[in-house]
Amino acid sequence: MSQLENKKILLGVCGGISAYKSAVLLRALQQAGAEVRVVMTSSAQAFVTPLTFQALCGHPVYTELLDPEQEAAMDHISLARWADMILVAPATANFIARVANGHASDLLSTLCLAATIPIALAPAMNQAMWNNPATQRNIDTITRYGYRLWGPDEGDQACGETGPGRMLEPETLLRRASDFLKPGPLRGVSVLMTAGGTQEPIDPVRFVGNRSSGKMGYALAEAMRDLGAEVTLVSGPVSLNPPSAIDICTVQTANEMRDAVMARVEECSIFIAVAAVADYRPASVAAEKIKKRSDSLNLELVRNPDILAEVAALADPPFTVGFAAETEQVEAFAEEKRRSKGVDMIAANQVGTSEGGFESDRNSLTLLWEGGRESLAMMEKSHLARQLSERILKRYQLERGVDE
Ligand code: C5P
């Protein structure tokens, strides 16, 4: 069976010279088994007529946002819900700017704004337009919003210039779509995670906190999602954009994080505790802002619940993964933590050094499990998260006897 069998793809076509290649792409997607509907912007119709796509796909092409006839066939929200993914090829600089700014000025941009499914863009434009800081800023924005960027390619351009900006060839886009839509190994598996740090209030304006940025937890949540898992992320306060297709529950304190986790833990098969949970909280929270009246102030702290240990001690615990941030004897302390908390796998990292750790974009990890260990070298947290997600998947499958 083809990997695109029964997959529903909404093919968006913008106004660029490579729009003619979209007709070839449409045929290739169909031949691979996908069901395709086409949406064209008005400038796309200056390059190729809707009739070309209609004849190839066997369905009317959607072009208008406010056309009662087209809306009667399938309104724009139903169209966004119908598809498994939206692929915009070619995606022009103008279209990218529109989605980066949340415009809903025509049917295609409205569909992207209304969509809860993955969206991939295949950019196509002149190399100077691609390199322009405004375009690069828009690209940066939409990638953070969760848009996938397929391309562009480098090479000769229709305008006679050479450089980055060519749309990927239809066969490459077909391969990207097939890889992207193939069922992930964790499809249907529910993963619960914690990320970020907690804030323990002292009074209405102050708290005890830590340096956790949430970057590692958020990157790992995305990597688990990309393996097909249904991810719920219980997050402390962070300044990161919420990742797409991940259920987020935001909390402030360790107690709130514990309650949010315990309310959801029964439904999950894997629990990953990445959060830097405060070990202690102020014994009491002052109702009013504490005034600086004396030379010293004693803050009495009491222990917070250990969420990871509590989950691991459940009668029927999920597969549990913990983190251990240590400043010395990293592996020995992490192994001791793994055993004392009774978790299946622990990811240990060195903190307090110049590279890696809490606020950094890079990190390295040593993974420890019963009878095994593996080191993952210093790299970008997003890459590290992907490698870690694959190791978690493997240990989960081996220990829980889940078929690969
Ligand atoms: O004991 P320590 O804080 O070093 O353990 C770290 C691991 O335990 C991390 O996975 C962290 O998310 C988890 N943890 C927790 N609840 C706490 C403290 C730590 O879930 N109160």
3-state secondary structure 128-179: HHHHCHHHHHHHHHHHHCCCEECCCEEEECCCCCEEEEECCCHHHHHHHHHH
Q: Is the pLDDT of residue 1 over 70?
A: no
**Ligand 1 mean position, distance from CA 273 (Å):** 7
| Tens digit of each residue's pLDDT (9 = 90 or more) over 146-188 | 899 999 999 888 888 889 999 999 999 999 999 888 888 998 8
Q: Which of 198, 307, 350 to mutate to test the pocket of ligand 1 (most atoms within 8 A of CB)?
A: 307
Residue closest to 324 by CA, chosen among 273, 373, 371: 273
Asked if residue 107 lies in contact with residue 74, where contact means CB atoms within 8 angstroms, the answer is no
Section 16-36 average pLDDT: 96
Residue 398: predicted pLDDT: 94
Compute the mean pLDDT over every residue in the chain, rounded to the nearest whole number: 93
Query: Which residue, of 126, 157, 181, is where some domain finishes?
Result: 181
Residue 358: predicted pLDDT: 64
Residue closest to 189 by CA, chosen among 146, 235, 243, 225: 225
Give the active site residue among 14, 159, 249, 268.
159
Q: Name the pLDDT band for 74 (thresholds 50, 70, 90).
A: confident
Residues 237 and 150 in one domain: no
Residues 155 and 208 in one domain: no
Residue 2 forms part of a structural domain: no
Residues 271 and 291 in one domain: yes
Residue 245: predicted pLDDT: 77
Residues 118 and 253 in one domain: no
Section 213-239 average pLDDT: 95
Atom of ligand 1 nearest to the CA of 279: 21
Query: Which residue, of 131, 154, 181, is where some domain finishes?
Result: 181
**Ligand 1 mean position, distance from CA 270 (Å):** 16
Residue 404 forms part of a structural domain: no
Atom of ligand 1 nearest to the CA of 310: 20
Bridge partner list, 345: 321, 369
Q: Is the pLDDT of residue 404 over 70?
A: no
Q: Which of 233, 255, 323, 346 to mutate to test the pocket of ligand 1 (most atoms within 8 A of CB)?
A: 323
Q: Could you tell me the CATH number of the domain that includes residue 318?
A: 3.40.50.10300
Q: What angle do CA 25, 14, 108 make, to 5 degrees?
A: 105
Query: Which residue, of 181, 207, 238, is where some domain finishes?
Result: 181
Residue closest to 390 by CA, chosen among 185, 118, 183, 189: 185
| Tens digit of each residue's pLDDT (9 = 90 or more) over 284-303 | 999 999 999 999 999 999 99
Q: Which domain holds residue 254?
A: 190-399
Phi, psi (rounded to 5 degrees) for 158 = -60, -30
Residue 354: predicted pLDDT: 67
| Tens digit of each residue's pLDDT (9 = 90 or more) over 234-264 | 999 999 988 877 899 999 999 999 999 999 9
Residue 320: predicted pLDDT: 98
**Ligand 1 mean position, distance from CA 90 (Å):** 46
**Ligand 1 mean position, distance from CA 254 (Å):** 10
Residue 211 forms part of a structural domain: yes
| Tens digit of each residue's pLDDT (9 = 90 or more) over 312-363 | 999 999 999 999 988 899 999 999 999 999 999 999 998 877 666 666 788 8
Atom of ligand 1 nearest to the CA of 308: 20
Residue 30 forms part of a structural domain: yes
Section 368-392 average pLDDT: 93
- Phi/psi region, residue 227 (left: phi>0; alpha: psi -120 to 50; beta: rest), is alpha
Atom of ligand 1 nearest to the CA of 305: 21
Residues 166 and 282 in one domain: no
159 among known catalytic residues: yes
Residue 72: predicted pLDDT: 77
Q: How many independent structural domains does the chain possess? A: 2
Q: Which helix (H) or strand (E) holds 387?
A: helix 381-400
Residues 169 and 213 in one domain: no
Q: Name the pLDDT band for 219 (thresholds 50, 70, 90).
A: very high
Q: Which two tokens stand for residue 11?
A: 């093919």
Phi, psi (rounded to 5 degrees) for 312 = -65, -25
DSSP labels, 196-261: SB--EEEETTEEE-----SHHHHHHHHHHHHTT-EEEEEE-S-SSPPPTT-EEEE--SHHHHHHHH
pTM of the predicted protein model: 0.70
| Tens digit of each residue's pLDDT (9 = 90 or more) over 40-70 | 999 999 999 999 999 999 999 999 988 888 7
Q: Could you tell me the CATH number of the domain that includes residue 163?
A: 3.40.50.1950
Residue 1 forms part of a structural domain: no
**Ligand 1 mean position, distance from CA 307 (Å):** 7
* Residue 334 CB neighbour total at 10 angstroms: 24
Q: Is the pLDDT of residue 6 over 80?
A: yes
Residue 357: predicted pLDDT: 64
Residue 111 forms part of a structural domain: yes
Q: Nearest C-alpha to atom 2 of ligand 1 is from which residue?
A: 324
Residues 151 and 214 in one domain: no
Residues 171 and 207 in one domain: no
Residues 121 and 243 in one domain: no
Residues 175 and 47 in one domain: yes
Residue 3: predicted pLDDT: 74
For ligand 1, residues with CB inside 6 Å are 194, 254, 273-275, 277, 279, 304-308, 322-324, 337
Residues 164 and 213 in one domain: no
Residues 148 and 128 in one domain: yes
